[in-house]
Structure 1
Amino acid sequence: MKVFLIGFMASGKTTIGEELAKVLSYRFIDLDQFIEKQEGQSIKAIFELLGEEKFREIENKALRDVAAMEGNIVIASGGGTSCFYNCVDFMNKTGITVYLRAEVEELLARLIESKTERPLLWGKSKDELNNYIIRVLDERKKYYEKAKITVGINDLDVNNLADTIRAINE
């Protein structure tokens, strides 16, 4: 079975994904790391050299490649993965989607520290970043809310999430 973690950047998909994979005894794949290994360059470099549109094409192919792998896998998608190429529908057909829902204030606090590493956030002031999060979260919400499971990151218990996933899989 495949478990796809979706949600805004910095919502904890990688950190929670690693924990969840351990609890479920599944393999873990971070989609961004998978892309970087396949492409031989960082996500930042791909954005700089090829632009977002080409990155989204690469990301879509990588998602489908990972989903086609044998075995049980927890997959941490990128923040925008579920919002392009009908990927959220693909993930729902292929496995279980989990939306890690975070409030704007929490995302801002997390992203202010890492904005130089994230191509879509380069050069934004705190106010610009806050406005960006509000706008993009509003645009992406319709995709994120298609997930089979939604859990708030502040009250997330990985063991309970694992139990919910096991119950759905039975």
Structure 2
Amino acid sequence: MDSPNPQIYLTGFMGSGKSTVGPLVGARLGRRFLDLDDLIAERAGRAIPAIFEAEGEAGFRRREADALRAVSREDGRVVVATGGGTLVQEENLERARASGTVVYLHAPAAVLAERLRDTAAERPLLQSEGGRPLAGAALARRIETLLAERRPFYQHAHVTIDTAEAPPEATAEAVIDALRERRNEE
């Protein structure tokens, strides 16, 4: 899969499957997998929720932009799971599109709410102002709101893959097939 733009960036809302599908795509293509959130946490020496608590979302987004910049410059071909909001910053979106192929892993809000129900406590943007994890209708509303804000940016992806019904292995194959098809069209 030689390409002038070697990186593969998986984007999509939390729970869309980026961190699950990414390693599968990487293994099948012989590429290293990198989760951008893991890189940010490693560089900061603390977990993402601790970064949000200490620096706020703006501080986290600065760290995220720095990490994406570093990954986009790597010589090796990497499959990168971006954070759900990474490409909402125009500079990040342009950088990812210029240095690789952006793949949007799409799932409807109801599917995302079900997938995220048990992990909302670990996700700062799915917590109330008091720091409690959202649940039920409040969780669904937050997901709908964030998804509506992010959808216009996700739509700039080179490729869109629906993850609602397919298991991770089938989604990984769909990503690889779409990448090959895109390469053949270029």
TM-score (norm 2): 0.87
Of 29, 36, 47, the match for 1:31? 36
Offset of 1:3 from its aligned partner? Answer: 0.2
Aligned partner letter, 1:27: R
Find the aligned partners of 2:96 and 2:78 in 1 and give their Cα distance: 12
Would you say how many aligned residue pairs link Structure 1 and Structure 2?
A: 170
**Partner of 2:156 in structure 1?**
146
Offset of 1:120 from its aligned partner? Answer: 0.9
**Partner of 1:130 in structure 2?**
140
Contact 1:60 1:85 in 2 (8 A): no
**Partner of 2:171 in structure 1?**
157
Find the aligned partners of 2:137 and 2:181 in 1 and give their Cα distance: 42
**Partner of 1:6 in structure 2?**
11
Gaps of 5+ in 2: 1-5
**Partner of 1:19 in structure 2?**
24
Q: Could you list the per-position Cα deviations for residues 26-46 of structure 1 after superposition, in whole angstroms to 9, with x for gaps in the alignment?
A: 110000001111110000100
Q: Could you list the per-position Cα deviations for residues 42-77 of structure 1 after superposition, in whole angstroms to 9, with x for gaps in the alignment?
A: 001000011000110110010110111111100000
Bigger share in helix: 1
Gaps of 5+ in 1: none
Of 106, 116, 124, the match for 2:121? 116
Tell me: higher relative CO, structure 1 or 2? Use CA pairs within 8 A at least 6 residues apart: 1
Q: Could you list the per-position Cα deviations for residues 1-32 of structure 1 after superposition, in whole angstroms to 9, with x for gaps in the alignment?
A: 10000000111101000100011111100000
Offset of 1:85 from its aligned partner? Answer: 4.2
TM-score (norm 1): 0.95
Find the aligned partners of 1:98 and 1:88 in 2 and give their Cα distance: 12
Find the aligned partners of 1:164 and 1:111 in 2 and give their Cα distance: 26
Aligned partner letter, 1:109: E
**CA-atom RMSD, angstroms?**
1.3
Of 64, 68, 73, the match for 2:73? 68
SS at match of 2:118: helix
SS at match of 2:14: coil
Aligned partner letter, 1:21: G
SS at match of 2:103: strand
Offset of 1:157 from its aligned partner? Answer: 3.4
Say if 1:120 and 1:2 are closer, same or farther in 2 by CA, change over 3 A.
same
Find the aligned partners of 1:135 and 1:52 in 2 and give their Cα distance: 17
Aligned partner letter, 1:79: G
Sequence identity, in percent?
A: 36
Q: Could you list the per-position Cα deviations for residues 105-132 of structure 1 after superposition, in whole angstroms to 9, with x for gaps in the alignment?
A: 1100111100110011122232111001
**Partner of 2:61 in structure 1?**
56
Contact 1:8 1:137 in 2 (8 A): yes
